[in-house]
A and B are shown apart, each in its own frame.
Chain A
Amino acid sequence: MLKQIDIPENDPVAVADRRALIDEILAANKDRPGGLMVILNEVQSKIGFISEPMQLYIANRLHVPVSTVHGVVSFYSFFTTTPRGRHTIKFCMGTACYVGGAPQLIEKAKQVLGIEPGQTTKDGAITLEICRCVGACSQAPVVVVDEDSHGRVRPNKFPQLVRGLTEPGGN
C-alpha cells in the first residue's frame, strides 16, 4: 500500500504561487535528457529546499518512482529537505582552511550563535554549514555568507560578519 503523506499547509506544493513556480520549472526542463538534476537544482535554489511532498509531486509529474527522486535528493549535499535560514554561513573545510584555522572559527561561531553546524537559529535568520573546498585557498580560512566570500577571517572578527544578518530586516 502506498504510504499516505500529510502535506503541511505551508508546504510549497500547497501554496499556489510556490506550486506555480515548481510547475514552471518542471515544464521548462522535463523533456531535457537528464532533466531531474536540472529540475532539483532549480527548485532548491528558487524555493530553498525540497520537502517530501515536493519530491512526491515532482516524481508524479515526471512519471518516475518517488524513490528515484528521493535517491537523488538524498545523494547530493546541496539538496536539503528542510527550510534554511534567511542567511547561510558556510565554513570552508578545504585543506588550506583546515590548516589555516577553520576549526577554531567554527568553535567561535557555535559560541556566538548558539547552534551547531547544520542547524538554524531560532529566529530563522542564520543557518550554519560546513562546506567543501570553495576554491579560494589562498584566502584561507574562508567563510561564505550567502554568496559573498570572506577571506582570512579570524575568530575575533566573526561577530562583525554576523551583525548585519541577525537584525530584523537585515540582509
Chain B
Amino acid sequence: MAFFRSHVLVSVDPECLKRGALEVVDALHDELVAQGLNDEIQVLETSRIGDPVLFGPDLMVYPEGVHYACISADDVPYIVTEHFLKGRPVEKFRAQERVVVDEELGAPKPKEVRVVLRNIGKIDPNNIEDYIAEDGYAALAKVLSEYTPEQVIDVILASGLRGRGGAGFPTGKKWQFARQNPGDIKYVICNADEGDPGAFMNRRVLEGDPHAVIEGMTIAAYAIGSRQGYIYCRAEYPLAVKTISIAIEQARDLGLLGENILGTDFSFDLEVRIGAGAFVCGEETALMASIEGRRGEPRPRPPFPAVAGLWMKPSNINNVETYANVPQIILRGAEWFASMGTEKSKGTKTFALAGDLKNTGLIEVPLGITLREIIYDIGGGIKDGKGFRAIQTGGPAGGCLSEEHLDLPIDYEGLASAGSMMGSGGLVVMDTGNCMVDIARYFMDFIQEESCGKCTPCRIGTRRLLEILTNICEGKGQDGDIERLEELSGWIKATSLCGLGQGAPNPVMSTLKLFRAEYEAHIYEKRCPAKVCKALITYNIIKETCTGCTVCARNCPANAISGERRQPHRIDPDICIRCGICMQVCNFNAIEIN
C-alpha cells in the first residue's frame, strides 16, 4: 500500500459542486503532479467538511487538521507550493470558525453530563448524515438485528429510565404494558407539547437533534409492536416542527422509517401533529383527544393509554427527552445508564435555568445533584448581588422551594417530598425582589386560564383561589383567607380529574408553607415586603439623587411625573399606575418604593 505523508480532503457535496469543487480537485491533481508531490500527497473526495454555505468548497489537510474555506481552482497552486512543498499553512485561506454565541446552550459547565444534549450545536440537525456519523441509528440497527422486542423492554427496564415529562413512571413498564395489551393496531406517541412556562429543553432537542427522538420512537415501536407514530408538537415551536418534519423525510429516504426498515419485516412511520395553544394538551389523554381532532379535554384514567389510548387502541406515550435517551441506553448499555443518578432515579436530566441567575440556559446533570450545585456552581449564583429567595420547579403544577431545600438531592422522590415536583425540568430562580404571594397569583392566573373546564374542582376552584389571591395582593385580604386557601387547595388536589387540576394548588400550598409570613404581612399589615404588589406600594423620587434628566417623565405611560428640566421631579401617587417603568429607565437610581 502506498504511503502518503498528507491527505487532502475536498468537500464535494451538492452545494460545493455548484461552487466548483470538482475544478478544485482537478487543479489539485494537476498541481501535485506538476510539483512532483503526487506520491506524497493524496487527494480524497468527501461529502462535506464544514457548513457548505459558509465554507464551501473547503479542504481539510491531515495530519495537521488545517481547514481551508471557499477555495477556487485559482488558489490551488499557491496552497500546494506554500503548504505541501514548504510546509507553511496558508493563513489567509484558513476557515474562520464562526463564533456563535449560543445564549441558551453554552459549552458544558463543570458537573454537567450531556447525554440527551450531546449532539446539540455540534451536528447539523437538517442533515441525517451528521447524526449517523455520531453513531446515529446504530442502536436501531442493533435492536432490529440482535434483540427481540422483549429483550429491548428488558434493557430499558434494567436501565431504570423514568418518564422525563415529569411524573417519572418507569419507561420500561409502560412499554411492557403496551406490548402485553392485545391489538393489531398500536400507536407510539411523542409528547412534544412542552407547555410549562420556563421550560425549553424539548424544543432544543427537537431543533438540534431530531433524529435521536425519531430513533427512540422507532425502537419503542419495535418493542411494543406498533406501525404508526405521532409527534404532537406545540404550535409555539415552529422551528421545531420544521426540523422534525425534515428529519422524518430524510429518515424515510434512507429506509429508516417506512416499510421494511433496514431490510427487516418491521415497518413504522411517523407523522407530526401540531397543537393550537392549549396547555392542557400536555396531559396525555387530552393530547390524544387533540390528535384525534377533538377538543383537548382529558378523560379519567383507567383505562390507561397502554390499554385504550389513541382511537382507543393500546398506545405508548413518552416525552421527547425520554425517547432521546433510548438510543444511548441501547448502545452503551443499561448498566452505564444506571450508574448515573440516585437509587430510584437513574441517568441525567435536562433543566432549563431561568430567572434571576447569572448564567441562564440549558443544562444536563446527573440526577442526585443538589439545587445548590445547580444554582451556584452551574448557574453562577444570583445576579446583581441580590439574595436567593426561592426556586420554582416543575412548572405551574410544581412548587417553590426555599433556602432550606438547597442541599436536597434532585430526584423524583426528593422533590415530591419537599412539596414540589420534577416536572419537565424548568427551574426558575427568584431573588429577594420577588413577592411570593404575587408569584402564587401569577401561577393561579395561568392555571385558571388554561383549565379546560371539564371538571368542576379545577374550573371553579382555581378561579376562587385566584380571587382570594388577587384580593390579598390588592390589600383586600381578610382574616381567614389563608385557611380558605388551604382548605380549597386540599379539595382541588383531591378531586380534580387530571394532573393539571391536581397540581394546580401546588404553587399556593408550597408558598404558604414556606412564606406564610409574607401572606400575613399582606393580609394583616397591608404591606408587601418585597415591594411588588401595586396596591400596597408607592413610587417616590429621591430629591437629592434626581438630576432632572426627564427620562422618567418621558417614559411614564400615565404622565404621572412632573418637574422642570434639571430640577427634581415628582410622582403624583393618584395618577401613578405603579408600573415601575420609571425605576427601570432611571439612570441614577433616584426612584424608590415605599
Contacts and interface: CB of A to CB of B under 8 A. Distances in A.
A101 B579 CA distance: 10
Nearest to B200: A135
B567 interface: no
B426 interface: yes
B533 interface: no
Interface string B390-428: 001000000000000000000000000000000000101
A132 B277 contact: yes
Contact of A34 (B197, B273, B362, B450): B273
Contacts of A76: 275-278, 296
Given A95-B198, A155-B555, A72 B293 contact: yes
A168 interface: no
B517 interface: no
A77 to B, nearest CB: 4
Max chain B C-beta neighbours (<10 A), residue from A94, A108, A131: A94
B93 interface: no
Nearest to B445: A93
A34 B577 CA distance: 48
Max chain B C-beta neighbours (<10 A), residue from A68, A101, A132, A139: A132
Contacts of A93: 197, 446
Contacts of A110: 557
Interface in A64-115: 68, 71-72, 75-79, 93-96, 98-101, 103-104, 107-108, 110-111
A132 B195 contact: yes
A37 B291 contact: yes
A96 B294 CA distance: 31
A38 interface: yes
Interface size for chain A: under 10, 10 to 19, 20 to 34, or 35 or more residues? 35 or more
Given A78-B277, A131-B236, A133-B196, A138 B579 contact: no
Contacts of B426: 95, 137
B295 A34 contact: no
A147 B238 CA distance: 9
B445 to A, nearest CB: 9
A136 interface: yes
Interface in B496-536: none
Interface string B551-570: 10001010000000000000
A124 interface: no
Contact of A138 (B194, B238, B353, B434): B353
B189 to A, nearest CB: 12
B286 to A, nearest CB: 10
B271 to A, nearest CB: 9
A121 interface: no
Interface in B421-470: 426, 428, 430, 434, 439, 442-443, 446, 450, 452
Contacts of A137: 197-200, 352, 354-355, 360, 426, 428
B103 interface: yes
A100 B433 CA distance: 11
B325 interface: no
Nearest to B356: A99
B331 interface: no
Nearest to A154: B584
B292 A34 contact: yes
B308 to A, nearest CB: 16
A75 B280 CA distance: 11
A98 B443 CA distance: 10
Interface in A17-73: 33-38, 40-41, 44, 68, 71-72
A41 B274 CA distance: 8
Interface in B287-340: 290-297, 311
Interface in B263-288: 273-279
Contacts of A35: 293
B197 A107 contact: no
Nearest to B288: A34
A92 to B, nearest CB: 8
B581 A107 contact: yes
Contacts of A151: 103
B580 interface: yes
A37 B287 CA distance: 12
Nearest to B579: A107
A34 B291 contact: yes
Contact of A99 (B275, B279, B430): B430
Contacts of A140: 354
Contact of A111 (B294, B353, B557): B557
Nearest to B235: A78
B530 to A, nearest CB: 11
A156 to B, nearest CB: 5
Contacts of A41: 235, 274, 276
Contact of A37 (B198, B290, B353, B354): B290
B203 interface: yes
B237 interface: yes
Contacts of B236: 131-135
A35 B356 CA distance: 43
B104 interface: yes
B561 to A, nearest CB: 13
Contacts of B277: 76-78, 131-132
B54 interface: no
Interface of B: 103-104, 194-200, 203, 235-238, 273-279, 290-297, 311, 352-356, 360-362, 392, 426, 428, 430, 434, 439, 442-443, 446, 450, 452, 551, 555, 557, 577, 579-581, 584-585
Given A93-B446, A131-B236, 13 more contacts: A37-B276, A41-B276, A77-B276, A77-B278, A99-B439, A101-B584, A104-B580, A132-B277, A133-B200, A133-B236, A137-B198, A137-B352, A138-B353
27 contacts: A33-B292, A33-B311, A34-B291, A37-B291, A41-B235, A44-B276, A68-B294, A71-B295, A75-B295, A76-B277, A76-B296, A77-B278, A78-B276, A93-B197, A93-B446, A95-B426, A95-B442, A107-B557, A108-B579, A132-B195, A135-B236, A137-B197, A137-B198, A137-B352, A138-B103, A138-B361, A155-B585
Interface of A: 33-38, 40-41, 44, 68, 71-72, 75-79, 93-96, 98-101, 103-104, 107-108, 110-111, 131-140, 147, 151, 154-156
| 9 A-B pairs with the lowest CB-CB distances in the bound complex, closest first | A76-B276, A94-B197, A135-B200, A36-B293, A137-B354, A111-B557, A133-B197, A138-B360, A96-B354
